[in-house]
Amino acid sequence: MKLRCIIVDDDENSRSVIEHCVSKTEFLSLEGIYSSAKDALVGLKSKPADVIFLDVEMPEMSGIDFMKTFTDIPQVVIVTSKKEYAAEAYDYNVTDFVSKPIDYARFLKAAEKAREMHSSITRSEINLDEIFIKKDSRLIKLHANEINWIEALSDYVNIYTTGQRYTVLTTMKGIESKLPPKDFARVHRSYIIRIDKIKEIEENTVFIGENAIPISRSHKEALLKKLNLL
């Protein structure tokens, strides 16, 4: 199965280079090419995409502002000459960051990463209400509604349930792909929370029970969109 992709870049030469890279990649299907983020938002309403190859610095709406408009954004591969945007881009859980000028080998690596992530998400959709984690020599089943929050810990994550903590070798992006997106929200580069476990939110902090979890500025708007606000 091919991944549907779009290109969003205000530079004509960059769009041509990315288009050529897509044409050489047999598992990608180009659904649209846009010179502005605003045009891409309109186009995505009629032609959904699995992957967005996105520039950062664009007039009217930047790539970062573009990502802020989504509650559940497709996978994003940032393609830019400005390496200083890398840290901020990863706050939005982007799949990869490719520097201009674009090298096809590096582009292909990013595309393959997106394909692997898409396959993982597709497989996990079979049953997102439960996951199996390894503890010692055992596999333990956790129901999604048992999880209160998840914390990044280097190459591991801590999964917190009521009265229990499990440490698992995986990435935040990996475990996020295994969870039902309507029930969980990424609130920080290092934290995922279960929405119905929220006790209260105060400025840039969310409380689950008595536990205070930070909310990054870049994730707060997406979290609020998932809440049933009056």
Domain end position, chosen among 88, 109, 124: 124
Q: From the CB of residue 167, how many other CB atoms can be counted at a distance below 10 Å? A: 12
Per-residue model confidence (pLDDT) at position 123: 55
Domain end position, chosen among 76, 99, 124: 124
Per-residue model confidence (pLDDT) at position 228: 79
Per-residue model confidence (pLDDT) at position 14: 95
Write down the residue that tokens 């205000």 correspond to. Answer: 10
Q: Is the domain of 74 the same as that of 54?
A: yes
Residue 59: C-alpha distances to residues 23, 25, 64, 142 (Å): 27, 29, 12, 46
The Cα–Cα gap between 34 and 167 comes to 43
Dihedral sign computed on CA atoms, order 192, 194, 195, 198:
negative
Rg, Å, the chain Cα set: 18
Each residue of 34-55: pLDDT tens digit?
Answer: 999 999 999 998 889 999 999 9
Per-residue model confidence (pLDDT) at position 89: 72
Q: Is the domain of 119 the same as that of 63?
A: yes
Per-residue model confidence (pLDDT) at position 41: 94
Q: Is the domain of 145 the same as that of 104?
A: no
Q: Which of 113, 114, 148, 142 is nearest to 127 (CA)?
A: 142
Three-state DSSP class for 73? Answer: coil
Q: Is the domain of 9 the same as that of 114?
A: yes
**Count of the separate structural domains present in the chain:** 2
Q: Is the domain of 88 the same as that of 137?
A: no
Q: Is the domain of 48 the same as that of 113?
A: yes
Each residue of 184-206: pLDDT tens digit?
Answer: 999 999 999 999 999 999 999 99
Please report, to the nearest 10 degrees, the dihedral formed by the alpha carbons of residues 41, 118, 131, 192 taken in order.
-40
pTM: 0.58
Domain end position, chosen among 104, 124, 144: 124
Q: Is the domain of 103 the same as that of 119?
A: yes
Q: Is the domain of 109 the same as that of 53?
A: yes
Per-residue model confidence (pLDDT) at position 122: 60
Q: Write the CATH number for 99.
A: 3.40.50.2300
Tell me the residue range of the domain where 105 lies.
3-124
Q: Is the domain of 79 the same as that of 41?
A: yes
**Which residues of the chain fall below pLDDT 70?**
120-128
Q: Is the domain of 42 the same as that of 111?
A: yes
